[in-house]
Amino acid sequence: MSSWPTNPAHHRWLDQHTRELLAFGRRAADPAGGARWLGVDGLPEPDQPVSTLLSARMAHVYAVGALLGVPGAAPIAEQALGGLAGRLRDERHGGWFPSVADHTVKACYDHAFVLLAAASSAAAGLAGGPALLAAAEAVFLDRFWDDAAGRCVDTWDASFTELDGYRGINGNMHAVEAMLTAAGVTGDDAWLERALRVCRFVAETARAHDWRIPEHYDERWRPLPDFHRDRPDDPFKPYGATVGHGLEWSRLFLHAEAARPAESWLAEAARSLFDRAVSDGWAVDGRPGFVYTTDWDGAPVVRDRMHWVTTEAISAAAALFRRFGTERYATWYRTWWDYAAAYLIDHELGSWFHQLDPENVPTGTVWPGKPDLYHSLQATLTARLPLTPMLAPAVAATLTGPVRT
């Protein structure tokens, strides 16, 4: 039997699971535009406002669903896009608010996902996709890309008047994903060049810290190793080294190298990031699963298991196996799918539990419910697609030929 990442029978299961996830999230679209936070049963949570983050993630996911030929996916994506084109967008100052209930700031993290959603929607030929892509590109370049630094700033006030002094890697990581996707959809290699500059900074900084990635910086890009020590389980900016980000960057480095093979340093950096994350994070407290964060010596800090860390481990292992053909990556890939099937996939109500406690029991202190499908759906696709272009344009090219926008 062939290794799981290349096994046709496993690929058929992946395709089935992709469609099961898309069926679970079908109620996410809000009739007024945007996407809603989903509960454990797939029903919208009434107390959670429509947000830019979830609207963008679900627009991206259902744009991919539309490219996969799933009936009903395109209308869901277009409703999510409607929120990004409408009530989540700041018509006065530009950009996107965090949610319909929060008009206080403009965040790189949110805007990176808008860029990703717009590029994926354009690849899928969805109504409003190209217009949103043009708008997202303009705002991102004007407000968040710092060309002198070669990376992105993090947070503005709502009017784009005052820039916060904090600089962060999480927003830059998702910006790299979005920039590589935009490059694949538009053919504009300037997006690739920007992504490579961010990757180089992350690789150099991680190498200097034994391949643990400092996440938090001041405005001069000096590391803040104690940032959020009092909030270690913050969902977006936790203290210490974030195991899942080492895995996610590992995969992104391989996507970037596939798009620019001359940058061969990316592949070895990807292996080093992967090895460090697995060594620090996998089953280090005597139970299966990845701890969420560690300190700078690799000791676990937050031991809860976030579903997205396992999905990124699966995708990184698939990408490394495709790049190097080394069987140990296939073995890890299978190990983590088996773990997901045992603990994370909800075989009764659908989708994935988003958070488990250290005993692998579902909990919701950081991520209650099952808000969206972004991480889990991508994990079902990485092994089935080439490393370049990125997800949506790769699916588009597989099904319909080269993308044109």
Give yes or no: 347 in active site: no
- Max distance between CA atoms of the chain, in angstroms, equals 59
- CA–CA distance from 11 to each of 78, 115, 134, 176 (Å)? 28, 29, 35, 27
Residue partners of 382: CB distance under 8 A and separation at least 6: 251, 314, 315, 318, 319
DSSP state of 227: T
- CA–CA distance from 364 to each of 23, 290, 356, 357 (Å)? 23, 16, 8, 9
Q: Where are the alpha helices (DSSP H) in 282-401?
A: 307-324, 327-339, 374-379, 391-400
- Tell how strand 145-146 and strand 167-168 pair up: unpaired
C-alpha to C-alpha distance for 313 and 308, rounded to whole angstroms: 9
Choosing from 60, 216, 354, 375, which is the catalytic residue? Answer: 375
Phi–psi pair at 46, nearest 5 degrees: -65, -25
Choosing from 245, 255, 307, 354, which is the catalytic residue? Answer: 245
How many degrees, rounded to 5, is the angle at CA 12 between CA 7 and CA 14? 90
CB atoms within 10 A of CB 176: 27
- Tell how strand 155-157 and strand 167-168 pair up: unpaired
C-alpha to C-alpha distance for 360 and 305, rounded to whole angstroms: 7
Partnered with residue 302 across adjacent β-strands are 293
151 in Cβ contact with 169 (< 8 Å): no
Give yes or no: 245 in active site: yes
Annotated catalytic residues are 245, 375
